[in-house]
Amino acid sequence: QVQLVQSGAEVKKPGASVKVSCKASGYTFTNYPIHWVRQAPGQRLEWMGFISAGRGDTKYSQRFQGRVTITRDTSASTAYMELTSLRSDDTTVYYCARLGPTGWFDPWGQGTLVTVSS
């Protein structure tokens, strides 16, 4: 079945960087974009950006422009989201999601908790 599996939880210090992976299976990876969304506890979902898994084109939310980089490795069917200059308010769960055949997010990865603490 179509599945996205993300890397495990991370603990980082303020100012550091984190790179979260999202491995796809059950479909042709290069056919569908991968988006990244984050969700702080009790907060609404927040879109960060996406990558066209085939061509590698990217688009980022202005809110994260300059701090986020989304890449992919087609040979590994894996997308990556790197966030730099981490702050305490970056402590949240990060999700990847495929933009599926309907043109909407399906499925989602299981989420990766990133904790930023000194």
Partner 1 sequence: AIQLTQSPSSLSASVGDRVTITCRASQGISSALAWYQQKPGKAPKLLIYDASSLESGVPSRFSGSGSGTDFTLTISSLQPEDFATYYCQQFSTYPITFGQGTRLEIK
Q: Where does this chain bind partner 1 (CB under 8 A)?
A: 35, 44-47, 59, 61-63, 95, 97, 100, 102-111
The nearest distance, CB 47 to partner 1, in angstroms, is 4
Rg (the chain; Cα; Å)? 13
- Residue number with CB closer to partner 1 (89 or 103): 103
The nearest distance, CB 37 to partner 1, in angstroms, is 8
Q: Is the peptide bond before 107 cis (omega within 30 degrees of 0)?
A: yes
- Residue number with CB closer to partner 1 (18 or 96): 96
CB neighbour class for 26 (10 Å; exposed up to 12, middle 13-18, buried from 19): exposed
The nearest distance, CB 72 to partner 1, in angstroms, is 19
Closest CA to 91 of 112, 71, 114: 114
- Residue number with CB closer to partner 1 (66 or 118): 66
The nearest distance, CB 67 to partner 1, in angstroms, is 15
